[in-house]
A and B are shown apart, each in its own frame.
Chain A
Amino acid sequence: MNDAKPSQREAIQNILLRLELWFAPILIIVPLGVSLFLVWDWYARGGSLGLSSYDGELLLGLLILIGNLAIDIPFLRSIRTLRKKG
């Protein structure tokens, strides 16, 4: 992509925008769904019954949730910027 000329760059930018818009829901919703499921599973099978063996699922669920939110926000911003340019 580094060797793209200005006209090519415009074309790449358009396709890139389409790809990002197409993938964005998957990239955002799936990790959030998995993390919330892990937290729910911890609560249903461990937390509510006082079992500590499920605590790992809570830790991982929170980690996936926070890690993905931290990236999703600038990712969505970048899509918005590309959309404005388009």
Chain B
Amino acid sequence: MAQYQADIIEQLNAVEVDAHWFRRAFHTFAASFLVYYLIPSDGWVGAIKIIIPTGIVACIAIIDYGRIRGEFDQRRFFGLRGYEKGRPASYLYFGVGLLLLLVLVPQQIAIPCILCVSFTDPLIGESRYYLGKQRAYILGFVVSLFFFLLTWYRAEWWVLLLVALLGASGALIGEAKKWKWIDDDFMIQILPAILLTLFWQVMLLTGNTILPPPLIHPI
């Protein structure tokens, strides 16, 4: 049997135990973290709002450090891809990206980015099997565009247009471009956030406040 045939058979066998729906469900689950914005930011509740997510991500980082060092059996980490064995796993990147968005960025910017990592990423991953890579990315871009339009619908029309194009492009580049050390689960949420934050700050310098009113109001 030729090497390429053996590789194909091995890949097919791997699909049997592939946790891909599990990974997809984890992605969509992340949208639940928008509940963060329902929690008030005043007093001790505000402090807990930062301490607990930071603590959770720190715990994940410690566990993942142990995994990389070989203290934990790699096989116990499901959904882990082959290339993640020697570097931080995608769930850690996912958590760090989410934490940075929740804590550092206004919700008007963070919410569409979280929606992108929650829904665009699994949508591209799943539709790639049926539509091919190119069409899956186009679909991903359109869906991301929809998320930015939906969350900035109260902004002025030119801001809405620019933000949607900038954000969706950032999300698509974050997903499509493969970086050796940084996972796409991190880039798909952080790259659009960086682009929009820069845009927001530049507009502030020119005296324009472009942020629409918040979508979620604390209880």
Q: Mark A55-86, 1 if CB is under 8 A from B, else 0.
A: 01101100110011011101101100000000
Q: Is there contact, CB below 8 Å, between A1 and B29?
A: no
Q: In the assembled complex, how far is the CB of residue B213 from the closest CB belonging to chain A, in whole angstroms?
A: 7
Note all chain B residues with C-beta closer than 8 A to A26: 29
Stretch at the interface among B12-20, B47-55, B160-168: B12-20
The B192-219 residues at the A interface (CB cut-off 8 A) are 213-217, 219
Note all chain B residues with C-beta closer than 8 A to A16: 17, 19, 22, 78
Note all chain B residues with C-beta closer than 8 A to A53: 213, 217
Note all chain A residues with C-beta closer than 8 A to B151: 56, 60
Decide: A12 near B32, CB < 8 A? Known: A63-B150, A75-B25.
no
Q: In the assembled complex, how far is the CB of residue A37 from the closest CB belonging to chain B, in whole angstroms?
A: 7
Q: Is there contact, CB below 8 Å, between A31 and B28?
A: yes
Q: Is there contact, CB below 8 Å, between A71 and B28?
A: yes
Note all chain A residues with C-beta closer than 8 A to B115: 63
Note all chain A residues with C-beta closer than 8 A to B171: none
Q: Is there contact, CB below 8 Å, between A19 and B78?
A: yes
Q: In the assembled complex, how far is the CB of residue A65 from the closest CB belonging to chain B, in whole angstroms?
A: 10
Q: A1-B78, A11-B75, A15-B78 are in contact. List 9 more A-B contacts (CB 8 A).
A: A1-B82, A2-B11, A9-B13, A15-B76, A27-B26, A37-B35, A60-B151, A71-B24, A74-B24
Q: Which residues of B contact A (CB under 8 A)?
A: 10-11, 13-14, 16-19, 21-22, 24-29, 31-32, 34-35, 38, 75-76, 78, 80-82, 111, 115, 118-119, 122, 150-151, 213-217, 219
Sample of 18 A–B contacts (CB below 8 Å): A1-B17, A1-B18, A2-B82, A3-B82, A15-B76, A16-B19, A19-B78, A31-B31, A56-B214, A56-B215, A57-B215, A57-B216, A60-B34, A60-B216, A63-B119, A63-B150, A75-B25, A77-B21
